[in-house]
Amino acid sequence: MLFDLKKLQNILAFYKDILVTNIAISILPLIFVSKETFLIFFSTIGYIICIAMKEINKSENYLFYQNNKLTKTQLIIYGVILNSIVAFLFALMIVGFNKFYK
């Protein structure tokens, strides 16, 4: 099998930590600027800030992922992919809300 269930669980656990922090950081542009700015911030700056925070505060957690055969680069790449999917879903929700409320 190309991708086992344990690796997928580890990737999702890694991304779950990033997702919660990323949404918390990206709420400010949503409140003060616009929905589109939220998407841009969530997709780029928010994700970078979350990775940097994880690197500074929880760098010892990477050892756990390395023991489960996931490198730091793999985690970041899979995180970018998952973040893009979530940002796309947020964009669909925003478009849906805009059409519904017009």
CA pair distance 97, 102, nearest whole angstrom: 9
Number of domains forming the structure of the chain:
1
In a domain, 102, yes or no: no
Q: What is the pLDDT of residues 67-102, one digit of tens each?
A: 888 888 999 999 999 999 999 999 998 888 777 776
In a domain, 19, yes or no: yes
In a domain, 71, yes or no: yes
Report the percentage of the chain scoring pLDDT > 90. 41
Selected residue with higher pLDDT from 101 and 50: 50
Q: What is the pLDDT of residues 26-40, one digit of tens each?
A: 999 888 988 889 999
Burial environment of residue 95 by CB neighbours within 10 A (0 to 12, 13 to 18, 19 or more):
exposed
Range of the domain at 34: 5-97
In a domain, 40, yes or no: yes
Which pLDDT score is estimated for 1?
A: 47
